Each structure stands twice: as structure tokens, then as C-alpha cells.
Amino acid sequence: MRDARGAPDREFERLFAEYGPSVRAWLAVRAPAGDADDLFQDVWTIFCRRWREWTPHPQAEAGDDRPVLSFLYRTCHLVLLAHRRVRSRRAMLPLEESPEPASDGLAERTRQIQIGECLSAARACCSDEDLAVLTAKLSGVPARDIARTLRITESAVDHRYRATVGRIRDRLSGASA
């Protein structure tokens, strides 16, 4: 039985340990560095609330964890979109009406992460939607769920992935030439 409000159950803890790193990596590639930790918490608090609603849990129906991975990917994408909307709204406000950036200490305890040469190249030469496809593919999200999240077709997902990899290769070749 799950606690309605407080402590997480063991299965939630297992999923957090299993997929926390993927969520963190999606955000490391797509979110501004200073915001990634707050957004990480948004993704997981949304998942935690949903987890309390799901009976039976989706992975129990499917016999594996992929529905959870897909849900986290979709949530991460929507959190990023929402974050950009809030930021652009704040940018339009007069300075005296702009709230102070939230900082609660918890986020500050998390660590910055390195994303490596290829992912750095991807970030430098690809659109956010390209990065959304690339990072989903690298983490094993099924193409059908990537397509649903991004509101594109599965063939568009495959096409975009190949084009993105091609662009990264060109950039790295240019850098080494």
C-alpha cells in the first residue's frame, strides 16, 4: 500500500534510482544549466503524483518499465516547454514585477554534469526538437512514444534522428579538420 502523502514506496524508489539519471541527462542537454535541478524536481513530483493514481501500475500491465520511461520523457519535454513559457513571460515583465529566481538550497546540492564532446556538438548545432529526438533515442524511449510526445509521425522521428546524427558528424569533422 502506498502512503497517500508522505513516504515513497519501494517501487517508486527503485524507479527513481533507475530513471533519475536519464531525466537528469535529458535536462543536462536541453535545459539551461542553472535551471536543470529545479526542473528535475518538477518532473519527479509530477511523476510521484501520477504514481499514486496509477492502479495497476503501467509497467505491471506491460511487463516492463518502458511505459514509465516514456511517461518521464513526455513529462520532461512538457516541463521544458512550460519552463520556457514562464521564462519568456517573465522577460516581458517590468523589472520590479519580476519575481526573484526561486532557490531552495536543495537544488544547489545537486551537481553539475559533463555532457561530453558529441552531445556538446549536438547542443551547438541542433534545434531543441532535434535534441529531444536524439536524447530520447539514446535513452531507449520507443519511437511511437517520441512521436506522440512531439506530435510528429514515427517516420519523422527516424528521419530527424538520422539527420541529427549527420549534423553532429559534420560538426565534429569540421572541428577536427
Which residues in this chain contact other proteins in the complex, by CB under 8 A?
A: 3, 5-8, 12-13, 16-17, 20-22, 24-25, 28-29, 37-42, 44-46, 48-49, 52-53, 74-75, 78-79, 81-83, 85-86, 89, 97, 99, 102, 106-107, 109-111, 113-119, 122, 134-135, 138-139, 148-149, 151, 165, 168-169, 172-173
Pair 30, 128: CB distance under 8 Å: yes
Q: What is the signed CA dihedral for 22, 118, 106, 73, rounded to 10 degrees?
A: -30
Separation of alpha carbons 27 and 75, rounded Å: 11
Separation of alpha carbons 1 and 50, rounded Å: 15
Cα angle: 173, vertex 120, 171; to 5 degrees = 20
Name the residue nearer to other proteins (CB basis): 1 or 114: 114
Name the residue nearer to other proteins (CB basis): 106 or 124: 106
Q: Tell me which residue has cell 504514481.
A: 51
Nearest approach in angstroms of CB 63 to other proteins is 18
Separation of alpha carbons 175 and 173, rounded Å: 5
Name the residue nearer to other proteins (CB basis): 81 or 155: 81
Name the residue nearer to other proteins (CB basis): 117 or 155: 117
Nearest approach in angstroms of CB 24 to other proteins is 6
Nearest approach in angstroms of CB 56 to other proteins is 12
